[in-house]
Amino acid sequence: MLNNKPAIFKEKKIKSIKRFGTVVTKIFVNKNSGSKSMISGTTLIPKDKSINLHYHNCEEAVLVLKGTALAEINKKKYTLKEGEVCWIPAKVPHRFINNNKSNLKIYWTYANVNATRTDVLTKKTYKILDEHKKKL
């Protein structure tokens, strides 16, 4: 669906992508839906799980939709509650940790349609839209 028309995305109809074991991501806005400058979606992080420490080639904004996140950003830790947003500049290492008894759900936006994720530990870089093809 590559066009310049507005689009409505229904979460229930978006295919889930498993990453980092049990973390589930759904990508909504991306170049396949017509975007020329951004990618956005949701990620569900089960209790006592986290996303690996990583950074992107672009800015990212993250909104906590459900639960409480422990956000580790550039070696500092912040508690983010429902309705709170963090902004992360490009190339700044970060991750989101769910050390609560319920699932954590975040909505994220990358400021680049060709956004990448570089794992700090492995130094491997993947395009966000290709991650489902890799074993993360």
How far, in Å, are 13, 58, 134 from residue 115 at the CA level? 23, 6, 16
Read off the pLDDT of each residue in 63-85 and give the average, rounded to a whole number.
97
- When pLDDT is cut at 50, 70 and 90, the band that residue 136 belongs to is very low
Q: Which helix (H) or strand (E) holds 49?
A: strand 49-50
Q: Where are the domains of the chain?
A: 15-122
Two structure tokens written together for 31: 């170049």
Read off the pLDDT of each residue in 79-85 and give the average, rounded to a whole number.
97
Q: What is the pTM of this model?
A: 0.91
Q: For 4-26, write each residue's pLDDT tens digit.
A: 788 899 999 999 988 878 999 99
Q: How many angstroms from the chain centroid is the CA of residue 80?
A: 15
Share of residues in the chain with pLDDT > 70 (%): 94
Q: How many angstroms from the chain centroid is the CA of residue 49?
A: 14
How far, in Å, are 39, 40, 51 from residue 71 at the CA level? 20, 18, 10
- Residue 136, CA atoms < 13 Å, CB-side half-sphere: 29
Rounded CA separation 70/90 (Å): 20
> Given this structure, which CATH class describes domain 15-122?
mainly beta
